[in-house]
Amino acid sequence: MKKLYAVIGDPIGHSMSPVMHNDLFSYYQIDGHYMPFLVKAEQLEDAVRGLKAIGIGGFNVTVPHKSGIIPFLDGVDELAADIGAVNTVVNEDGKLIGYNTDGPGFLQGLMNELPSIEGKNILVIGAGGAARAIYFTLAKERAVEIDIANRTVSKAESLIDDCPYQSSSIALSLEDAGKNMEKYDLIVQTTMIGMAPKTMECPLDLSVIKHQALVCDIIYNPLQTKFLQEAEHKGARIQNGIEMFVYQGALAFEKWTGIFPDVKRMRNMVLKQLGGSTC
Ligand code: ATR
């Protein structure tokens, strides 16, 4: 019998996950189907119960339910529990178990450009949910020098205090981080600043930057944010948010099917949906 997979969130109409995963199901000849479901916060518990009752194979969880879903699951893995957010649920013998593939997805995408983060000076810009997943994952991976810059510095301080993995980190304002950019080998922009339609916005001034630093932005619409354009202009290597999106999906697909899928195929599928050129 065909297995059902899903993504739940609010809003959900824009999600590129259904096209990406349905393409993989047909490519690997797996009898599965992936559907988006709009779920309001007040219906989350009922929705999770319903998905469990119909024997769902697994599902993704997106904004605003990544934290709220945790009490309704049968279990949560260690990293997801530490981050306090679940983006992937797997039906394991009738039990719904939550995972976080956002942070690990970012890390895998990063590895294509930067095979080792050991000894690197890292700056994370932002202190919201995405920053939390990335910061904890990098710290768990033993990246020790990870500073966090945020508009509200106290939120960056809380993120550092909350992190259960050893790291030497300082919290900075965006202005202070902007003055010390030449210190960093890797800069990860995790806020929504510069996302369409406000594509002219930039989180901080990139006047000086280390030559050959790697600058990542988790935004993929536009494919090159103003921040990435400026970084490239200053001689940095850049990576857009397609990588994190595709790898979080690849890791979810692997958890559901046991197959680590063809990431190049997924990337092309996403680029096609975004109207960009494929590679
Ligand atoms: P997400 O879960 O997608 O990471 P979030 O939790 O709402 O989203 O976090 C948004 C991040 O973007 C925060 O770091 C936020 O800064 P504050 O903590 O000061 O709110 C940052 N952010 C959003 N809009 C911003 C803006 N206009 N200027 C600077 N930072 C902004």
Q: What percent of the chain has pLDDT over 90?
A: 92
State yes or no: pLDDT of 212 exceeds 90.
no
Please indicate whether residue 155, judged by its CB atom, sits closer than 6 Å to ligand 1. yes
Read off the pLDDT of residues 123-147 as tens digits, 9 standing for 90 and up. 999 999 999 999 999 999 987 799 9
17 lines ligand 1 (CB under 6 A): no
Q: Whose CA is nearest to atom 26 of ligand 1?
A: 193
Q: What pLDDT was estimated at residue 167?
A: 81
For ligand 1, is residue 191 a contact (CB within 6 Å)? yes
Nearest alpha carbon, ligand 1 atom 8: 128
Burial class (CB in 10 A: 0-12, 13-18, 19+), 116: exposed
CB 110 within 8 A of CB 238: no
Q: Is the pLDDT of residue 22 over 90?
A: yes
d(CA 115, CA 188): 16
List the catalytic residue out of 2, 40, 66, 255: 66
pLDDT recorded at residue 223: 96
Going along the chain from its start, the domains and CATH numbers come out as 3-100+243-274 (3.40.50.10860), 104-240 (3.40.50.720)
> Residue range 65-71: average pLDDT?
98
pLDDT at 258 exceeding the cut of 70: yes
Residue 199 pLDDT greater than 80, yes or no: yes
Say what the pLDDT of residue 211 is: 87
Q: Is 243 helix (H, G, I), strand (E, B) or coil?
A: helix
Q: Tokens 């935004």 identify what position?
A: 219
- Average pLDDT of the segment spanning 44-56: 98
* 230, containing H or E segment: helix 226-233
Question: Hey, which of 151, 176, 201, 244 would you mutate to test ligand 1's pocket, going by the most ligand atoms within 8 Å of its Cβ?
Answer: 151
- Calculate the average pLDDT of the chain: 96
Contact of 118 with 98, CB cutoff 8 Å: no
- Residue in 37, 66, 64 with CA at minimum distance from that of residue 51: 37
φ and ψ at residue 81, rounded to 5 degrees: -65, -45
Residue 145 to residue 154: CA distance in whole angstroms: 19
End-to-end CA distance of the chain: 35
Q: Please tell me the distance from the alpha carbon of residue 228 to that of residue 236, in angstroms, as a whole number.
A: 9
Q: Which of 64-73, 93-102, 110-119 has the lowest mean pLDDT?
A: 110-119
The tally of CA atoms less than 13 A away on the side-chain side of residue 263 is 17
Whether the pLDDT of residue 278 is over 80: the answer is no
pLDDT(176) > 80: yes
Which is more confident, 167 or 101? 101
- Among this protein's residues, is 183 annotated catalytic? no
Asked if 226 contacts 201 with a C-beta cutoff of 8 angstroms, the reply is yes
Helix (H) or strand (E) holding 34, with range, is strand 32-38
Residue 19 has pLDDT above 70, yes or no: yes
Band of residue 166 on the pLDDT scale cut at 50, 70, 90: confident
Structure-token match 């063809």, residue found: 262
Query: pTM for this one?
Result: 0.95
Q: What pLDDT does residue 279 have?
A: 57
pLDDT, position 249? 98
pLDDT score recorded for residue 206: 85
| pLDDT-above-70 percentage for the chain | 99
Q: What is residue 65's predicted lDDT score, i.e. its pLDDT?
A: 98
Find out whether the beta carbon of 194 lies less than 6 Å from any atom of ligand 1. Answer: no
Q: How confident is the model at residue 277 (pLDDT cuts 50, 70, 90)?
A: low
DSSP string, 77-145: -HHHHHHT--SEEEEETTEEEEE--HHHHHHHHHHTT-S--TT-EEEEE--SHHHHHHHHHHHHTT--E
